[in-house]
Structure 1
Amino acid sequence: MFKDIVLAVTPSSICENAAEKAFSFASRFESKLYLLHVCGMEQGWGAMEHLETSGVVDRIRENMKEYYKERLCKMPNCEVIVVAGISHNEILRVARKKNADLIIMGPHTKEHAEKRSKMWGMAGSTLERVSQRARCPVMIVTRETPGDGDFKNIVAATDLSEQAGCAVAYAGQLARHYKAGLTILNVLESSKIYPSDIRDQIEKTRTRLQGEYGARLEGLKDCSFECAVGDPPMEILDVAQKKKADLVIMAHHSKETDPEKAFLGSTVTKVALNCGCPTMSVNRHFDLRCGMMYDQTGQVVEATSTA
């Protein structure tokens, strides 16, 4: 399912959970795995202008190979890449060059890990910028994910926009592959609804979800449509916990047209950094080829990556 995976990683325990998921996927799907580390101003490896000429990049590459040597010896189809630059730019560049169909990332730095429980979103972070601009899905793994690596319960959050439909379609594809349960969730903001209308709006939204996505999800054994009322990140996290989800899929900034405003603490980032399971982001760049996944009758069609 995943042929080329880019694992954007810092060789430390901070990214251990993301690394575990990436190696697991690569082994399961016999994927080509690219271990990528970007050394530069944000990563504490030295000033960018001195990295290439001083041989620091080569030393870090050897450190990467040493750190992951036990896993690398079991993974012959793996390449270690170390480059100097700005993190999000280089991650996106390598993903495009390698035609990746999945990017996996962790919290990336010790500072992010320490602040995760205190911060409600991280505006302008590497996670934000990569998940917003990548041409393939981005999986963010910040915590240990026990189990055999399969997805048994998937939650796909949608705001019923055209772009969010791609995230739902991709969730359906994964649910079929893993034979997983799938919950399609829409969150209504309580500030925009009169209290007396809440029950009526919930029922109308469930009906709309079924009408919007029912045909393309037809045939899934365990698929439900749910609506919650409240703050979107909080409600998504709550439903994911109740459903014992092992994956949450979302469209990144599906309604935000201004890319700068999109950095101001997105729902995707808020959920990803506080969720007990991996979060997968699908953005508008991936939406452009999403229609290839399903035909008009809801049948699965092989999608061709153009990342």
Structure 2
Amino acid sequence: MYNKILLPIDLNHKQSWSKALPTALNFCQTYNASLHVIMVLPNFGMPMVGGFFPKEFAEKAKKTLTDNLREFVKENVPKEIKVQRIVADGKPYEAILKMAKKIDVDLIIMASHKRKRLEDYLLGTNALRVVQQSKRSVMIVR
């Protein structure tokens, strides 16, 4: 039923993966699916943001994120599950949707978190935007 599962996470926020990861692993084991774990680095190239950081900052941040993601997968994903680690940049929901299309996933499994900021009420969460705009099935884990 599912061949490729996309799991967006943020290693700085355990709630982004603490419940979603076990669910994704269960689906991978049940359907012999591959797991594609994605982390999104904010786009530092934007003029408004990029001016505050040295030019090499984005490259260093991406390398650090890649290393951290590799360690996370090594510690949390069983060896028998085929896994791909992805570090993307940009707005989280846009990067998730773009990658889901690019690798042609069957299912996106992601966590939803409690709204804490006014921005979340006005603009909606990344999970909400993924659900609204995705052409693939999305499972939200609370």
**Corresponding residue for residue 5 of structure 1:** 5
Task: Look up the match of 2:97.
Answer: 92
Q: Alignment length, in residue pairs?
A: 130
For 2:9 and 2:56, the matched residues in 1 are separated by 18
Higher relative contact order (CA 8 A, sep 6+): 2
Which runs of 4 or more aligned residues in structure 1 lie more than 3 Å from their structure 2 counterparts after TM superposition?
Answer: 47-53, 112-115
Query: 1:55 aligned to 52, 56, 60, which one?
Result: 60
Give, in whole Å, the separation in 1 of the partners of 2:26 and 2:103: 19
> Deviation at 1:51?
7.5
Matches of 1:51 and 1:27 in 2, distance apart?
Answer: 40
Q: Quick one: distance in 2 between partners of 1:34 and 1:97?
A: 12
Amino acid at match of 2:129: R
Match of residue 46 from structure 2: none
Secondary structure at the counterpart of residue 99 of structure 1: coil
Are 1:132 and 2:129 counterparts? no
The gaps in structure 1 that reach 5 residues or longer are 42-46, 116-120, 143-307
Residue type at the aligned position of 1:13:
K
Quote the residue 2:42 is aligned against: 40
Structure 2, gaps ≥5 residues long:
44-48
**2:69 match: secondary structure:** helix
For residue 77 of structure 1, report the CA deviation from its aligned partner. 0.9
Task: Describe the SS at the equivalent of 1:35.
Answer: strand
Give the secondary structure class of the aligned counterpart of 1:135.
coil
What are the Cα deviations for residues 162-211 of structure 1, in whole angstroms up to 9, with x where unaligned? xxxxxxxxxxxxxxxxxxxxxxxxxxxxxxxxxxxxxxxxxxxxxxxxxx
Deviation at 1:124, TM superposition (A): 2.4
1:93 CA displacement = 0.5
The correspondence of residues 121-160 of structure 1 with structure 2, limited to 5 A, is 123-142=123-142
User: Which one has the largest radius of gyration?
Assistant: 1
Identity of aligned residues (%): 27
Q: How does 1:180-195 map to 2 (within 5 A)?
A: none
Q: Which amino acid aligns with 1:5?
A: I
2:20 paired residue among 18, 21, 34: 18
Aligned counterparts of 1:101 and 1:113: Cα–Cα separation in 2: 26
Q: So what's the TM-score if we normalise by structure 1?
A: 0.38
How many Å apart are 1:36 and its aligned residue? 0.5
Residues 51-70 of structure 1 show CA distances to partners (whole Å, capped at 9, x for unaligned) of 87432112112111212323
1:125-184 deviation line (CA, Å, top 9, x unaligned) = 211211011111111002xxxxxxxxxxxxxxxxxxxxxxxxxxxxxxxxxxxxxxxxxx
CA distance in 1, matches of 2:104, 2:35: 12
**Which letter does structure 1 place at the counterpart of 2:9?**
V
Equivalent residue letter for 2:41: C
Let me know the Cα RMSD of the aligned residues: 2.7
Task: Output the CA distance in 2 between the equivalents of 1:92 and 1:123.
Answer: 17
1:205-243 deviation digits (Å, cap 9, x = unpaired): xxxxxxxxxxxxxxxxxxxxxxxxxxxxxxxxxxxxxxx
2: distance between equivalents of 1:137 and 1:52? 35
Give matches, 1:1-307, under 5 Å.
1-11=1-11, 12-15=13-16, 16-40=18-42, 53-107=58-112, 112-113=113-114, 115=116, 123-142=123-142
Could you say what secondary structure the match of 1:68 adopts? helix
Conserved 8 A contact 1:36-1:80? yes
Q: What letter matches 1:22 in structure 2?
A: A
The separation in 1 between residues aligned to 2:138 and 2:38, in whole angstroms, is 14
